[in-house]
Amino acid sequence: MSLFPVCYFLASQLSEILMIFSTPFRDGVKSAIPIWLAFVPFSFALGIAAKTHGLSLEEIVLMSALVYAGPAQFAALEPLASGKPALHILLTTFLINLRFLPMSTALAPYFRRIRRLTLLISSQFISASSFIPSYLRFQKEGESNSESSSEKINESGRRNLHYFLGVSVTSFSVWVLGSGLGYWVALRVPPGFEEGLKFILPGYFACMLVMEMRGWTAPIICLVSLIAAVPGALLSPNWGWLITAMIAASVGWGLEQWIQRGSR
Protein backbone atom coordinates (compact mmCIF):
# COMPACT_ATOMS: atom_id res chain seq x y z
CA MET A 1 0.00 0.00 0.00
CA SER A 2 1.39 3.37 -1.02
CA LEU A 3 2.04 5.93 1.67
CA PHE A 4 1.48 8.82 -0.73
CA PRO A 5 -2.24 9.30 0.08
CA VAL A 6 -1.50 9.32 3.80
CA CYS A 7 1.36 11.80 3.43
CA TYR A 8 -0.75 14.02 1.20
CA PHE A 9 -3.58 14.07 3.73
CA LEU A 10 -1.23 14.93 6.61
CA ALA A 11 0.36 17.70 4.57
CA SER A 12 -3.02 19.11 3.61
CA GLN A 13 -4.05 19.18 7.30
CA LEU A 14 -0.78 20.72 8.51
CA SER A 15 -2.26 24.20 8.54
CA GLU A 16 -5.10 22.95 10.73
CA ILE A 17 -2.64 21.32 13.12
CA LEU A 18 -0.64 24.54 13.38
CA MET A 19 -3.80 26.52 14.17
CA ILE A 20 -3.04 26.20 17.91
CA PHE A 21 -0.45 28.95 17.40
CA SER A 22 -2.96 31.31 15.77
CA THR A 23 -4.41 34.32 17.58
CA PRO A 24 -8.08 33.36 16.93
CA PHE A 25 -7.51 29.91 18.46
CA ARG A 26 -5.95 31.43 21.59
CA ASP A 27 -8.85 33.90 21.80
CA GLY A 28 -11.23 30.96 21.65
CA VAL A 29 -9.38 29.22 24.48
CA LYS A 30 -9.70 32.35 26.64
CA SER A 31 -13.43 32.58 25.87
CA ALA A 32 -13.87 28.92 26.86
CA ILE A 33 -12.62 29.31 30.43
CA PRO A 34 -16.13 30.05 31.85
CA ILE A 35 -17.41 26.98 29.96
CA TRP A 36 -14.74 24.81 31.58
CA LEU A 37 -15.85 25.98 35.02
CA ALA A 38 -19.44 25.03 34.20
CA PHE A 39 -18.48 21.69 32.65
CA VAL A 40 -16.43 20.45 35.61
CA PRO A 41 -19.31 19.83 38.08
CA PHE A 42 -21.71 18.51 35.44
CA SER A 43 -19.15 16.16 33.90
CA PHE A 44 -18.23 14.91 37.38
CA ALA A 45 -21.92 14.31 38.06
CA LEU A 46 -22.21 12.40 34.79
CA GLY A 47 -19.28 10.16 35.69
CA ILE A 48 -20.70 9.47 39.14
CA ALA A 49 -24.18 8.77 37.74
CA ALA A 50 -22.69 6.44 35.12
CA LYS A 51 -20.98 4.41 37.82
CA THR A 52 -24.22 4.26 39.79
CA HIS A 53 -26.08 2.94 36.75
CA GLY A 54 -23.56 0.19 36.07
CA LEU A 55 -21.46 1.57 33.21
CA SER A 56 -17.72 0.97 33.06
CA LEU A 57 -15.05 3.67 32.92
CA GLU A 58 -14.34 2.91 29.26
CA GLU A 59 -18.04 3.12 28.38
CA ILE A 60 -18.67 6.52 29.95
CA VAL A 61 -15.47 8.04 28.52
CA LEU A 62 -16.34 6.69 25.07
CA MET A 63 -19.91 7.96 25.42
CA SER A 64 -18.66 11.43 26.38
CA ALA A 65 -16.31 11.49 23.39
CA LEU A 66 -18.80 10.19 20.81
CA VAL A 67 -22.07 11.70 22.03
CA TYR A 68 -20.75 14.85 23.79
CA ALA A 69 -24.19 16.02 24.87
CA GLY A 70 -24.92 16.22 28.57
CA PRO A 71 -28.75 16.01 28.46
CA ALA A 72 -28.69 13.09 26.01
CA GLN A 73 -26.05 11.23 28.02
CA PHE A 74 -27.93 11.68 31.29
CA ALA A 75 -31.18 10.61 29.61
CA ALA A 76 -29.55 7.45 28.23
CA LEU A 77 -28.22 6.19 31.58
CA GLU A 78 -31.47 4.83 33.00
CA PRO A 79 -32.58 3.08 29.77
CA LEU A 80 -29.11 1.54 29.41
CA ALA A 81 -29.12 0.33 33.00
CA SER A 82 -32.62 -1.16 32.76
CA GLY A 83 -31.97 -2.91 29.44
CA LYS A 84 -34.32 -0.86 27.25
CA PRO A 85 -34.27 -1.60 23.48
CA ALA A 86 -31.47 0.04 21.50
CA LEU A 87 -33.98 1.72 19.16
CA HIS A 88 -35.67 3.25 22.17
CA ILE A 89 -32.41 4.78 23.43
CA LEU A 90 -31.36 5.97 19.96
CA LEU A 91 -34.70 7.67 19.36
CA THR A 92 -34.60 9.39 22.74
CA THR A 93 -31.10 10.79 22.28
CA PHE A 94 -31.86 11.72 18.66
CA LEU A 95 -34.83 13.86 19.71
CA ILE A 96 -32.79 15.54 22.44
CA ASN A 97 -29.89 16.26 20.09
CA LEU A 98 -32.03 17.75 17.32
CA ARG A 99 -31.14 21.13 18.81
CA PHE A 100 -27.72 20.85 17.16
CA LEU A 101 -29.29 21.12 13.70
CA PRO A 102 -30.23 24.84 13.93
CA MET A 103 -26.92 25.55 15.68
CA SER A 104 -24.95 24.01 12.80
CA THR A 105 -27.10 25.83 10.27
CA ALA A 106 -26.46 29.16 12.00
CA LEU A 107 -22.67 28.65 12.13
CA ALA A 108 -22.21 27.26 8.61
CA PRO A 109 -22.19 30.63 6.73
CA TYR A 110 -19.21 31.80 8.81
CA PHE A 111 -16.97 28.91 7.71
CA ARG A 112 -16.40 29.77 4.08
CA ARG A 113 -13.66 28.13 2.00
CA ILE A 114 -13.22 25.39 4.60
CA ARG A 115 -12.88 21.78 3.41
CA ARG A 116 -15.93 19.61 3.98
CA LEU A 117 -13.86 16.98 5.76
CA THR A 118 -12.58 19.59 8.20
CA LEU A 119 -16.11 20.85 8.81
CA LEU A 120 -17.37 17.30 9.28
CA ILE A 121 -14.75 16.60 11.96
CA SER A 122 -15.30 20.00 13.59
CA SER A 123 -19.05 19.40 13.84
CA GLN A 124 -18.38 16.76 16.51
CA PHE A 125 -17.36 19.55 18.91
CA ILE A 126 -20.57 21.60 18.66
CA SER A 127 -22.39 22.10 21.94
CA ALA A 128 -24.78 24.71 23.23
CA SER A 129 -21.98 26.16 25.36
CA SER A 130 -19.50 26.49 22.48
CA PHE A 131 -22.15 27.71 20.04
CA ILE A 132 -23.16 30.83 21.96
CA PRO A 133 -19.76 32.64 22.26
CA SER A 134 -18.78 31.62 18.72
CA TYR A 135 -22.01 32.80 17.13
CA LEU A 136 -22.03 36.10 19.01
CA ARG A 137 -18.43 36.81 17.99
CA PHE A 138 -19.06 35.92 14.35
CA GLN A 139 -22.14 38.13 14.25
CA LYS A 140 -20.25 41.06 15.73
CA GLU A 141 -17.34 40.68 13.33
CA GLY A 142 -19.76 40.25 10.41
CA GLU A 143 -21.40 43.57 11.20
CA SER A 144 -18.05 45.35 11.42
CA ASN A 145 -16.92 43.82 8.11
CA SER A 146 -20.14 44.52 6.25
CA GLU A 147 -18.36 46.87 3.84
CA SER A 148 -15.36 44.61 3.22
CA SER A 149 -14.71 42.89 -0.08
CA SER A 150 -16.12 39.43 -0.67
CA GLU A 151 -12.57 38.03 -0.79
CA LYS A 152 -11.78 39.29 2.72
CA ILE A 153 -15.08 37.93 4.01
CA ASN A 154 -14.29 34.51 2.58
CA GLU A 155 -10.81 34.56 4.12
CA SER A 156 -12.36 35.16 7.53
CA GLY A 157 -13.77 31.63 7.41
CA ARG A 158 -10.48 30.11 8.52
CA ARG A 159 -10.10 32.59 11.38
CA ASN A 160 -13.64 31.81 12.51
CA LEU A 161 -12.93 28.09 12.43
CA HIS A 162 -9.79 28.52 14.53
CA TYR A 163 -11.72 30.53 17.12
CA PHE A 164 -14.55 27.99 17.20
CA LEU A 165 -12.12 25.11 17.69
CA GLY A 166 -10.33 27.04 20.43
CA VAL A 167 -13.64 27.22 22.30
CA SER A 168 -15.06 23.81 21.44
CA VAL A 169 -12.05 21.45 21.44
CA THR A 170 -10.85 22.58 24.85
CA SER A 171 -14.40 22.40 26.27
CA PHE A 172 -14.78 18.94 24.76
CA SER A 173 -11.56 17.82 26.44
CA VAL A 174 -12.72 19.12 29.82
CA TRP A 175 -16.05 17.29 29.44
CA VAL A 176 -14.47 13.93 28.55
CA LEU A 177 -11.80 14.20 31.23
CA GLY A 178 -14.31 15.33 33.84
CA SER A 179 -16.65 12.41 33.20
CA GLY A 180 -13.73 9.99 33.61
CA LEU A 181 -12.61 11.66 36.83
CA GLY A 182 -16.18 11.64 38.13
CA TYR A 183 -16.33 7.90 37.58
CA TRP A 184 -13.00 7.53 39.42
CA VAL A 185 -14.39 9.52 42.35
CA ALA A 186 -17.51 7.30 42.42
CA LEU A 187 -15.29 4.24 42.86
CA ARG A 188 -14.07 5.64 46.16
CA VAL A 189 -17.32 6.67 47.82
CA PRO A 190 -18.32 4.84 51.03
CA PRO A 191 -20.52 1.71 50.75
CA GLY A 192 -24.21 2.58 50.57
CA PHE A 193 -23.52 6.12 49.41
CA GLU A 194 -24.36 5.13 45.80
CA GLU A 195 -28.08 5.12 46.62
CA GLY A 196 -27.90 8.84 47.28
CA LEU A 197 -25.98 9.42 44.07
CA LYS A 198 -28.94 8.12 42.07
CA PHE A 199 -30.67 11.43 42.77
CA ILE A 200 -28.08 13.23 40.61
CA LEU A 201 -29.94 12.28 37.43
CA PRO A 202 -33.41 13.59 38.37
CA GLY A 203 -31.78 16.55 40.09
CA TYR A 204 -29.92 17.49 36.91
CA PHE A 205 -33.12 17.54 34.84
CA ALA A 206 -35.00 19.34 37.61
CA CYS A 207 -32.42 22.16 37.51
CA MET A 208 -32.70 22.37 33.72
CA LEU A 209 -36.49 22.51 34.00
CA VAL A 210 -36.49 25.28 36.60
CA MET A 211 -34.14 27.41 34.50
CA GLU A 212 -36.46 27.09 31.49
CA MET A 213 -39.76 27.74 33.27
CA ARG A 214 -41.05 31.06 32.01
CA GLY A 215 -44.68 32.10 31.78
CA TRP A 216 -47.52 29.57 31.98
CA THR A 217 -46.50 27.16 29.23
CA ALA A 218 -43.86 25.19 31.15
CA PRO A 219 -46.04 24.57 34.26
CA ILE A 220 -48.88 23.31 32.03
CA ILE A 221 -46.45 20.95 30.24
CA CYS A 222 -45.26 19.65 33.64
CA LEU A 223 -48.87 19.06 34.72
CA VAL A 224 -49.72 17.20 31.50
CA SER A 225 -46.57 15.09 31.86
CA LEU A 226 -47.37 14.27 35.48
CA ILE A 227 -50.90 13.18 34.64
CA ALA A 228 -49.91 11.12 31.58
CA ALA A 229 -46.66 9.56 32.89
CA VAL A 230 -48.19 6.84 35.08
CA PRO A 231 -50.78 5.57 32.54
CA GLY A 232 -48.12 5.66 29.82
CA ALA A 233 -45.67 3.62 31.88
CA LEU A 234 -48.39 1.08 32.76
CA LEU A 235 -49.45 0.66 29.14
CA SER A 236 -45.89 0.20 27.86
CA PRO A 237 -42.94 -0.02 30.28
CA ASN A 238 -40.42 0.40 27.44
CA TRP A 239 -42.07 3.04 25.24
CA GLY A 240 -44.67 4.62 27.51
CA TRP A 241 -42.56 7.42 28.95
CA LEU A 242 -41.11 8.34 25.55
CA ILE A 243 -44.56 8.54 23.95
CA THR A 244 -45.75 10.56 26.95
CA ALA A 245 -42.85 12.98 26.52
CA MET A 246 -43.64 13.44 22.82
CA ILE A 247 -47.33 14.08 23.59
CA ALA A 248 -46.45 16.60 26.31
CA ALA A 249 -43.98 18.36 24.00
CA SER A 250 -46.61 18.52 21.24
CA VAL A 251 -49.16 19.98 23.67
CA GLY A 252 -46.63 22.57 24.80
CA TRP A 253 -45.73 23.53 21.23
CA GLY A 254 -49.41 23.85 20.27
CA LEU A 255 -50.10 25.95 23.34
CA GLU A 256 -47.22 28.31 22.57
CA GLN A 257 -48.42 28.72 18.97
CA TRP A 258 -51.93 29.47 20.19
CA ILE A 259 -50.66 32.06 22.69
CA GLN A 260 -48.48 33.73 20.03
CA ARG A 261 -51.38 33.96 17.57
CA GLY A 262 -53.61 35.41 20.28
CA SER A 263 -51.09 38.12 21.16
CA ARG A 264 -50.83 39.41 17.57
| Judgement on whether residues 172 and 236 belong to the same structural domain of the protein | no
| Judgement on whether residues 223 and 164 belong to the same structural domain of the protein | no
Residue 252 lies in a domain: yes
Domain end (from 186, 221, 254): 186
pLDDT band for 48, please (50, 70, 90 cuts).
confident
Of 57 and 195, the one with more pLDDT? 57
Domain end (from 141, 168, 186): 186
Tally of domains in the chain: 2
| Judgement on whether residues 147 and 221 belong to the same structural domain of the protein | no
| Judgement on whether residues 122 and 250 belong to the same structural domain of the protein | no
Q: Are 228 and 86 in contact (CB under 8 A)?
A: no
Residue 199 lies in a domain: no
- Domain residues for the domain of 121 are 4-186
Residue 166 lies in a domain: yes
CA–CA separation, 148 and 80 (whole Å): 52
Q: What is the pTM of this model?
A: 0.70
Mean pLDDT of the chain: 77
Of 159 and 260, the one with more pLDDT? 159
